[in-house]
Amino acid sequence: MTKPQGIAVLGATGSVGCNTLDVIARHPGRYRVVALSAHRQMDKLFEQACHFQPDYLAVADEDAAAGLRERLALASVRCEVLHGPSALEWIAALPEVEVVMAAIVGAAGLPSALAAANAGKRILLANKESLVVAGRLFMDAVRASGASLLPVDSEHSAIFQSLPADYVGQPDSAGIRKIILTASGGPFRGKSAAELLGVTPADACRHPNWSMGRKISVDSASLMNKGLEVIEAHWLFGVPPERIEVVVHPQSVIHSMVQYRDGSVMAQLGSPDMRTPIACALAWPERIEAGVEPLDFFSLSDLSFEKPDLQNFPCLRLAFDALAMGGDAPAVLNAANEVAVEAFLNGRLPFVDIPRVVAETLSGVGVAASASLQALLARDREARRFAEGRVGAC
Ligand code: NAD
Ligand code: MG
């Protein structure tokens, strides 16, 4: 039997993190969980630690770490508990960690994902914000260290699977005309501007097809998620924005497509279950059991396609605008969106004002070149301060 692969799951208690551990648990002996991280939800992390017996846990602060240490000692689980952002970066670069699942939400996931890239790991990238904030820096780090980067976002996994196996980021030489990103349209698809006025966080988090964390659920409702995914696809696949098209496909059966010069369209289909792209990234190029219901073609309703509604859901257009502005504009867009989404979830900002805060921050903060991680994080903080001011001005 081959040696188990050492894996660190960053953001283990989240929706992607839990799905990852679900797939790992189906393959005893194939992976060894070296480390898990979580920000809150200490009960869940404790349960995961008891089950997977990792060597390390990383949590937000010293208090959380102390509480966890006590519980682990009582349960006779031997594992070192670290805390703070630097612990995440340290874990991501450990020599015994071969695979890093980057499943922290938001720009908070960037430093550890980048540490994994610099350390030449096999990175399973769920944290799309890493590429939105630091696309060039991240892709350069992957190339320089020889890391492998496997997308976990279902659309990007679909595109990855629909590209030639030897694809190296040159669409023209691979005969690619377009990347087609599908979007479910989210829970508010078809709603008018007036109907969007009173929507609540609970409404926004009620996604028709996917069960996800709260931040990405709101992003899906505003179409910012698709905007972030356009930027993610641009960096992952080296495709210019004008050759990335978004198509609303409410059934979420086709997870995305690649259109070739000769008229062929390659698509990946499946049930809307994140364990498919997670298993694909974990085992690629092998295919492993993921616990996912096979697609039943006879019970599928029609597959339909629509243009996105950019009038009522301007966040998608704002993401294309940020990409066109270049420099660190996508990092500014992301920071403003994180602030606006948090304010919406806390009842401080109406849903329809999310794009307003993002647009005002983009024009208020402007664009800079910001090439290093430190410079990008400084701009992230600047954009957050500006966006907070715009939320307050509501
Ligand atoms: P989630 O909110 O369910 O979980 C987030 C995880 O990150 C948790 O473990 C949390 O403890 C940790 N975390 C939160 N803030 C942190 C911080 N400041 N520092 C360190 N850790 C922190 O989120 P999710 O839905 O699992 O999404 C995770 C990432 O994957 C996001 O970038 C999201 O866009 C992407 N993604 C998610 C899905 C999905 O189905 N949920 C699909 C595609 C992509
Ligand atoms: Mg997605």
Domains and CATH numbers, the chain: 5-151 (3.40.50.720), 159-385 (1.10.1740.10)
Phi, psi of 244 (to 5 degrees): -120, 120
CA of 64 to the centre of ligand 2 (A): 31
Sheet holding 244-248, edge to edge: 244-248, 176-183, 254-260, 265-269
Beta-carbon count within 10 A of 320 CB: 18
Residue-level pLDDT at 1: 61
Residue-level pLDDT at 394: 66
Residue stretches of the chain with pLDDT short of 70? 1, 394
Ligand 1 test: best mutation among 9, 10, 13, 16, most atoms within 8 Å of CB?
A: 16
What number does the ligand 1 atom closest to the CA of 39 have? 11
Assess contact for 193 and 312: CB atoms under 8 A: yes
Residue type, 40: R
Among 133, 89, 141, which residue's Cα sits nearest to residue 111?
89
pLDDT in tens, 285-303: 999 999 999 999 998 879 9
Among 351, 127, 350, 339, which residue's Cα sits nearest to residue 223?
351
What number does the ligand 1 atom closest to the CA of 217 have? 25
Q: Is the CB of 176 under 6 A from ligand 1?
A: no
Q: Is the CB of 342 under 6 A from ligand 1?
A: no
Task: Determine if the pTM surpasses 0.95.
Answer: yes
Measuring CA to CA, how many Å separate 314 from each of 274, 279, 310, 352? 27, 33, 5, 10
Assess contact for 360 and 321: CB atoms under 8 A: no
Residue-level pLDDT at 320: 98
CA of 166 to the centre of ligand 1 (A): 30
Annotated ligand binding at 213? The verdict is: yes
Asked if the peptide bond before residue 164 counts as cis, ω within 30 degrees of 0, the response is no
pLDDT in tens, 112-131: 999 999 999 999 999 999 99
Assess contact for 241 and 320: CB atoms under 8 A: yes
Residue-level pLDDT at 207: 83
